[in-house]
Structure 1
């Protein structure tokens, strides 16, 4: 074809077809023109054999100094000079490891695996813990970056799975967690890390910044773990998981198989571990927030919606790696999924339509230009339905119908079923019929149980009393 070079593979195909076909037919089967085939008949060499070897395009300025073969001689001379007169090299000191003494923590990025949850890419990394002596490992999926919260949760999970504490815990200084923090924040982070280790009776240590082999016992383990994950994903046939717990279970299974191979050494090391304390220590940050008139609060550049009855109240929020526990005073209110701001610094939103649907019913046109409109829709079918309504109906009518749909999903607890019905309507190019949908998702009176309450006469309670109690009451 014009503009494409003939390949060796096409040439071989042509020569094979040419044994039984005419020139034109063989050329067509090899995907090039008959004119090219006639040129091949004149010169049957492969295209690679016809290519001219590439030579220098300009004169070599060092040709008068170094002749052929001089480069390798120069390299040997330089290497010998460095051995005699060069700078001293760093020495790696091999260590003897004692059982129950040292555990290592580090984070490793998982972006290369393209893990998805329900078809949506999962931006995450793994917290990785390892015992130096026995090779016991624990891995925890971290949704955010390297942080004290992620370290505290992952480390405590590892220690309680292990069944004991160590004498020394080493980390990589949490370099990513310290980035962009002021001096006071860094000192607070260091104090919290020291307190965490003190709670388990461990001595906190950090490897030297920029020296990878200081933490080599876990850095090399990252590669082994990632290869095991890669092989397991190939055997599984895909990197998409139904939900986050399924993916976490997948990681746990891989780590468990590795620990099973080292069971004897792990059992021997467990006998040397220190006893765990009676309880875990905090693995969260606690902050105070105030609910604004927007029906939510903003924390770390993320807006979270809450029930509007909380507007004006000050809440306590425990910030975990993957969730927020919300309290008013000492009373727990709810648990919210944790969100993260966009990499560009743009604010994000975590919105539950149930928190605002009562207000939207009074002001449905607010939906049109709502800042968090796309996050408000609980499923993709709702968003696509609103796009179809805006395309074919006036804005006011489209907003009214969409708000009614959200209210129907909330009041009748039929979010999944309604989304399926809306999807069927989109495929049929039909707009939602609210009358039909209300009738479809209205409870059937025939299926509702009939509850009959029979009240006993008050005199019947006297049979529970003996004669003496009745006389005393009289």
Structure 2
């Protein structure tokens, strides 16, 4: 067009169109005049103007580039442009204008492209179906809570990179072998098979990490043999080598957080509810790759008949206080077990207590943070013993932990202030005993608190009448109405007079 320089792109487009269109149409489509098209074909088009080779303004870095900036760049390749900028503003104000920051950044970037050492390169991988599975732990930052109490947890994340199928499991402790083994086995079961290779980073649950070689732990070696996979790991400190799981870690956590925001609350009524929520989000992601998973499952190795060990075993004796201690946590156990020696199988989320070969109790696992010691107290384990000596409740070290909810803490606070000491202990212990026997712990606590708020403390007898003795069921009676003709049979052979 008149007054505009014809670009190389327009020339190329014109010549391409000229194969199928006339000179006039091709010129119009290329955005040039017909005469320009004529000159292109005659190779008489005016050449493009050369680029200027002079500056239009004074170089603002001329006085400091060779003497100050270059020595810093050559001294340390990790010095950032912002660091050099701050240094110039502080120590070379007479030679450097702070408004030249962008010029400085562009000049440093250009110099490093031309003179710096080679950079890391990401090599895109090709994953064959059935060959590779990648596992990792990832910490969760969004504030999930259970009934208002913050839930400290992380996710075990497993992925088949060839098809994009993923598995996630909530982990409540650290990166232990029990958590890794349980998560990995559940992932393989959910996937329907075992890949040839399982890749992780240098997990202490799987590697001794004494050498750069694959110095597997004994338990991890047994797990490998049981499922028949080969274990590999990336180089220490090079997370990008596990890029097929590191990036999905961020994606799945972001998706979970967005789903929680849409849900409108981060609070759940129980751990199982939160676990079901996580599972529903993961299944929603997996539905998008269901057809690819079906194809990869044909290449997976079959699962073994039985699962492998995903727990550690400990032999513990129950103390006189009806407790056992494990991993800096003291757990109460049913008082009938006092003095017995138990086999404790420690899983990531629970403890299983065996007396001989008999499973006698399952306890939720509690984790101690740092070097602190904590307790897990269940009043139902000791209430039968406590009801025989209720005065022991007042000065018990477990007193606050024996109260199962805020309602019972409120009840104890009220009766402790309004009753004699012995009577207050007797009342709260009998109330806990009633809650244990009837299974109406929550309803009983709510009833008593409601009565207290109305200025009355219900007696234990009143509570028993309401919760311990369910109302007798009214028997159902079915009355059949006889037909009138049946009454006639009563008159035969009778007296008529």
Q: TM-score range by the shorter chain?
A: 0.7 to 0.9
Report 1:125-136 matches (<5 A).
125-136=154-165
Residue 230 of structure 1 corresponds to 257
Change (3 A) 1:99 1:236: same
Q: How many residues align?
A: 385
Shift of 1:406: 1.2
The answer to whether 1:241 aligns with 2:271 is: no
Residue 322 of structure 1 corresponds to 349
- SS of the residue corresponding to residue 402 of structure 1 reads helix
Q: Deviations for 1:320-368, whole angstroms, at most 9, x for unmatched residues?
A: 1111111012111111111122x35332222222221122123222212
Shift of 1:68: 6.0
Residue 463 of structure 1 corresponds to none
Is residue 144–residue 150 contact of structure 2 (8 Å, CA) maintained in 1?
yes
Residue 132 of structure 2 corresponds to 102
- SS of the residue corresponding to residue 362 of structure 1 reads coil
TM-score norm. by structure 2 comes to 0.72
Report 1:67-466 matches (<5 A).
67=97, 70-112=100-142, 114-174=143-203, 190-341=217-368, 343=369, 345-443=371-469, 446-447=472-473
Residue 73 of structure 2 corresponds to none
- Structure 2 distance, partners of 1:106, 1:446, is 57
Q: Deviations for 1:151-197, whole angstroms, at most 9, x for unmatched residues?
A: 1111111111111001110112225x699x998xxx99822122212
Shift of 1:84: 4.2
Shift of 1:132: 1.3
- SS of the residue corresponding to residue 387 of structure 2 reads helix
- Structure 2 distance, partners of 1:108, 1:68, is 42
- Structure 1 distance, partners of 2:209, 2:134, is 27
Is residue 434–residue 468 contact of structure 2 (8 Å, CA) maintained in 1?
no
Residue 62 of structure 1 corresponds to 92
Is residue 386–residue 402 contact of structure 1 (8 Å, CA) maintained in 2?
yes
Is residue 128–residue 140 contact of structure 1 (8 Å, CA) maintained in 2?
yes
TM-score norm. by structure 1 comes to 0.75
- Structure 2 distance, partners of 1:73, 1:446, is 89
- Structure 2 distance, partners of 1:360, 1:182, is 50
- SS of the residue corresponding to residue 369 of structure 1 reads coil
- Structure 1 distance, partners of 2:91, 2:110, is 26
Unaligned runs of 5+ in 1: 1-58, 450-474
Greater Cα radius of gyration, structure 1 or 2? 2
Q: Deviations for 1:79-101, whole angstroms, at most 9, x for unmatched residues?
A: 34434443332232222211111
- Structure 2 distance, partners of 1:182, 1:430, is 65
- Structure 2 distance, partners of 1:64, 1:125, is 53
- SS of the residue corresponding to residue 139 of structure 1 reads strand
Unaligned runs of 5+ in 2: 1-88, 476-497
